Structure 1
C-alpha cells in the first residue's frame, strides 16, 4: 500500500478511466468492459427514470440493468 499525506491507499497504482454516455448506455458499458483486464473493476453508477417515475427528483429511478440491452452488456 502506498502512503501520501497521512492517507493509506488501497490501490496506489489504480488507473481511472471514464466512458462517454453520448453513446447508448449498453454500448458505453461494453466499451468500458472491453478495456478491463484481470482483477480490474468496473464501477457502474448509472440509473434512469423507471416506469413509475413521477418527475420529482430521482424518485422512481432504477438501475440500468432493468433494460434488457443494458443487462446483457453488464453480464
Structure 2
C-alpha cells in the first residue's frame, strides 16, 4: 500500500513539473514570436525607429533566435 502511495506522489509531481516546464517554454516562444511580428509590422508601416527598437529587444532577450532579421 505504501508503494502505491509513493508511486502516485511521484507521478503527480512529475506531471506538475512537466506542465510548468512546457508552459514556460511556450511562453518564451510566444514572446519571441510576438517581438518579431511587432518589429516586422512596424517596419512595414514605416516606423523604422520602432522596428529597430523591437529588433534590438528581440536580439537581447533571445540571442539564439532562429528568426533572422
Q: Say whether the fold is shared (TM-score over 0.5).
A: no
The structure with the largest strand share of the pair is: 1
Larger Rg: 2
Q: What TM-score do you get using the length of structure 1 for normalisation?
A: 0.28
Q: Higher helix share goes to which structure?
A: 2
TM-score, normalised to structure 2, is 0.29
